[in-house]
Amino acid sequence: MEVDQLQNAIKDLDLVEKLKFIANEFDGKIVFTTSFGVEDQVVTDLIFANDIDIKVVTLDTGRLFEETYKVFNFTIEKYKKSIKTYYPDTKSIENLVSQKGPYSFYESIENRKECCNIRKVEPLQRALKGMKCWVTGIRAEQSNGRTKMEMIEEDHGYGLLKINPLFDWTLDEVMNYLKGKNVPYNSLHHKGFLSIGCEPCTRAIQPGQDFRSGRWWWENNSGKECGLHTHGN
Ligand code: SF4
């Protein structure tokens, strides 16, 4: 089904029904990638609480916050469901750390992208292999580059359809949903961390700052992206 046809078919359905329709349409070839941010926790709840047939996976870079692992654990305990976890390729990460040490990403943008490629992008490629549809927790207001996004987009880079169920949600709507449904979320959220990635590369932001300004804060002009999404990760 083409993007337009799909959009038309689901336009009058509520969000859960939309996801069920899309899951049915892509029949086992649909995956949701979570990094346990607040938006991802909403999507996880939509999928798990409603038994929607969408595979939930995560990428463990090996450098995540302790608080993130706790959310991971609370989540699988709450829903009694498993989350398939992808790790970096052993040889690549051994070579990187052996040759450049554990903090090479602070030395140059090139080194930072090398680390992101090994720890995130290549595992993501494995997670998306054979899939036709990729569900994300991205919202349009999360950064300037994301304001033009739609719920259903074509991802030409990965050659699949991307579904962004929360594309038009505000942060308040996300938080109200989580609190209303008692969904676990990252305790760092209340300490100024609005976009939470790897621990050495994420810091808290001040009120009013761009959502992603706490990521790779030592870089000025890299676009603050790690290569996972056209719009960001
Ligand atoms: Fe490496 Fe930092 Fe990228 Fe994580 S965010 S993969 S630690 S460079």
Confidence of residue 231 (pLDDT cuts 50, 70, 90): very low
In this structure, the residues whose C-beta lies within 6 A of any atom of ligand 1 are 61, 63, 105, 112, 115-116, 119-120, 197-198, 200-201, 226
Atom 2, ligand 1: residue with shortest CA distance: 201
Q: Is 197 part of a structural domain of the chain? A: yes
226 is an active site residue: yes
Classify residue 230: in a domain, yes or no. Answer: no
The tokens for 84 are 């398939």
Report in angstroms the alpha-carbon separations of 85 from 109, 185, 189: 27, 18, 23
* 125 has a pLDDT exceeding 90: yes
112 membership: H or E segment, kind and range: helix 109-116
180 assigned to some structural domain: yes
pLDDT of 76 strictly over 60: yes
Q: How many CA atoms lie within 13 A of 117 on its CB side?
A: 8
- pLDDT number for residue 232: 40
- Closest by Cα among 68, 67, 59, 174 to 125: 59
* Per-residue pLDDT band at 221 (split at 50, 70, 90): low
Which of 4-13, 138-147, 219-228 bottoms out in mean pLDDT, i.e. has the lowest?
A: 219-228
Instruction: Tell me the pLDDT tens digit for each residue of 148-185.
Output: 778 999 998 999 999 999 999 999 999 999 999 999 99
pLDDT digits (tens, 9 = 90+) for 56-72: 999 999 999 999 999 99
Number of domains in the chain: 1
Mean pLDDT to the nearest integer, 15-44: 96
pLDDT cut 70: percent of the chain above it:
91
Domain enclosing residue 197, as ranges: 3-201
Residue 227 placed within a domain: no
Cα separations in angstroms, 18 against 56, 90, 112, 144:
17, 38, 38, 27
**Nearest CA residue ID for atom 4, ligand 1:** 198
In a domain, 206, yes or no: no
Whole-number pLDDT of residue 227 = 63
CATH of the domain at 174: 3.40.50.620
Atom of ligand 1 nearest to the CA of 111: 8
Q: Give a yes or no: residue 16 inside a domain.
A: yes
212 within a domain of the structure (yes/no): no
How confident is the model at residue 48, as a pLDDT? Answer: 98
Global pTM value: 0.90
Span 12-20, average pLDDT:
96
30-34 vs 133-135, strand pairing mode:
parallel
Nearest to 194 by CA among 176, 171, 224, 216: 171
Asked if residue 215 is part of any domain, the answer here is no
